[in-house]
Chain A
Amino acid sequence: MAAPVDNDFSRKLEDLDARVRAARTEAGLDPRAEPTRAVTYDRMGLGFRIVVELVVSTLVGAVIGYGIDAWLNTAPWGMAICLGFGFAAGVLTIYRVVKGYDETVGLGRAARMKSGKPGKPSDDDPPKANGA
């Protein structure tokens, strides 16, 4: 007769324990697992994102290069080099978005956080369908 009551009581205790723990985490008293900071997009959002990143990064590169040229009188080298870097930065950001890495700076760290192992960055991650 005592067993079911006991069981019920311990279940209640467990339930209370879980709720207290959840509330503690919610209130920020416990350290918790770092969530990945990847923003999920719908398909159109993802496509739009890629276009914007590629164009904007290249433009930023061009503007910085133009500024350097105007300042140091190095035309056309500043623009040529910075245009290339800007384009590379755009491609890097797109790679990061498409692979589902988080938005933070630094590809190596993003890859580590995604794969969950703090060692070397893994290149053989299966591509994740981020747009679904």
Chain B
Amino acid sequence: MANPIEQFKLEPIVPIHVGGVDISFTNSSLYMVFAVIVSTVFLTAAMSKRALIPGRLQSLAEMVYEFVANTLRNNAGNEGRKYFPFIFTLFMFVICGNVLGLTPYSFTYTSHIIVTAGLAVTVFIGVTIIGFARHGLGYLHMFFPHGAPIAAAPVIVPIELFSYCARPFSLSVRLAANMTVGHIMLKVVAGFVAGMGILGFIPFVGVVGVTILELGIACLQAYIFTVLSCIYLHDALHLH
């Protein structure tokens, strides 16, 4: 049976070394480029007609747009709208990575924690900057709940601060772990299909089920990643 971990191996396609730092163009980079191309081509092609009554492709593009716009508006309020381009890009990048990764022989870049951590830390730093830019030092109020006795501050403030700092990591771990677990599970179950000979149809049915489940998880995790980014943005925009 093929090694179920092998699919996560980074393979340099164009080796580039600059000053001892390995910045090779890997299979992960290749699929990131694919994701950018797929989402750009999809949206441009779908909207090229600009029909008043949308066709199938155009409705799909409009649905994605409205879905993200509603998520942002419901979770970050109307002031969050100006951050729509970023949130939409984030959503498309994550969902393309998750779904493209489900095609056979492909690479899932969202299964690497460094990629998801890069996205989550970007959101975290951006949100913190927005918070301080809008509220100044008043942003620090969010670490101390209203009405709590001041004597409790030495305990409450560090706890809230830690829970704030843990956010990007829990966000990235969740996405990466979900993707990794799903792909390992697919590979292991699929390995039984060939291994069990004529009885292989039993795990084959399982693989079909797991693939559908994974497709659902791929979309759900992209949604959760986006929703939580919107919620963190809301914290920075409205303190109370």
Interface residues in chain A, defined as those with a beta carbon under 8 Å from any beta carbon in chain B: 28, 34-35, 37, 39, 45, 48-49, 52-53, 55-57, 59-61, 64, 82, 85-86, 88-90, 92-93, 102-109, 120-121
B146 and A108 contacting across the interface, CB-CB below 8 Å = yes
Report yes or no: A93 in contact with B163, Cβ–Cβ below 8 A.
Answer: yes
Q: A52-B174, A53-B170, A120-B147 are in contact. Are A105 and B162 (CB under 8 A)?
A: no
B160 adjacent to A89 (CB under 8 Å): yes
Q: State which of A89, A103, A106 has its C-beta within 8 Å of the C-beta of B231.
A: A103
Known contacts A103-B231, A108-B148; A64 and B173 CB within 8 A of each other: no
B73 in contact (CB, < 8 A): yes
Q: A89 near B163 (CB under 8 angstroms)?
A: yes
In the bound complex, do residue B158 and residue A85 qualify as a contact, i.e. CB atoms below 8 Å apart?
yes
- Given the interface pairs A37-B75, A53-B170, A60-B165, the reply to whether A105 lies near B143 with Cβ below 8 Å is yes
Residues from chain A with a CB closer than 8 A to the CB of B224 are: 39, 45
Q: Which of B74, B159, B165, B178 interacts with A88 by CB under 8 Å?
A: B159
For B160, the chain A residues whose CB sits under 8 A away are 89, 92, 105-107
Question: Are A89 and B162 neighbours in the complex by a CB distance under 8 Å?
Answer: yes
Interface of chain B, helix or strand or loop or mixed?
helix
Which among A48, A55, A106 is the interface contact of B143 at CB below 8 angstroms?
Answer: A106
Interface pair A52/B162, CB less than 8 Å apart: no
- Taking CB atoms, residues of chain A closer than 8 Å to B234 are 37, 104
Which residues of B line the A interface, CB within 8 A? 73-75, 77-78, 81, 142-148, 158-160, 162-166, 169-170, 173-174, 177-178, 220, 224, 227-228, 231-232, 234-235, 240
A60 adjacent to B169 (CB under 8 Å): yes
Main secondary structure of the interface of A (DSSP, over half): helix
Q: Which of A82, A103, A106, A109 has the most CB of B within 10 A?
A: A106
The interface residues of chain A lying within 8 Å CB-to-CB of B231 are 37, 39, 102-104
In the assembled complex, the Cα of A60 lies from the Cα of B159 at a distance in Å of 12
Give the 5 A-B CB pairs with smallest separation, nearest first: A108-B145, A89-B162, A89-B163, A28-B78, A57-B166
- In the bound complex, how far is the Cα of B165 from the Cα of A120, in angstroms? 27
Q: Contacting A89 at CB < 8 Å: which of B78, B147, B166?
A: B166
By CB atoms of chain A within 10 A, which of B162, B231, B232, B235 has the most? B162
Closest B-chain residue to A55, C-beta based?
B173
Given A53-B170, A59-B169, A105:B158 Cβ within 8 A: no
> For the complex, what is the distance from the CA of A120 to the CA of B232, rounded to whole Å?
24
Q: Is A56's CB under 8 angstroms from B163's CB?
A: no
Assess the B228–A39 pair: CB atoms within 8 A: yes
A92 touches B163 (CB 8 A): yes
Q: Which residue of B lies closest to A35 (CB)?
A: B74
Q: A52, A82, A88, A90: which contacts B173 (Cβ < 8 A)? A: A52
Is A121 a contact of B147 with CB atoms below 8 Å? yes
Closest Cβ of chain A: how far from B55's Cβ, in Å? 24
Q: Are A64 and B165 in contact (CB under 8 A)?
A: yes
* The residue from A57, A102, A104, A120 contacting B162, defined by CB atoms under 8 A apart: A57
- Smallest beta-carbon distance B109→chain A, Å: 20
Contact A49 B174 (CB under 8 A): yes
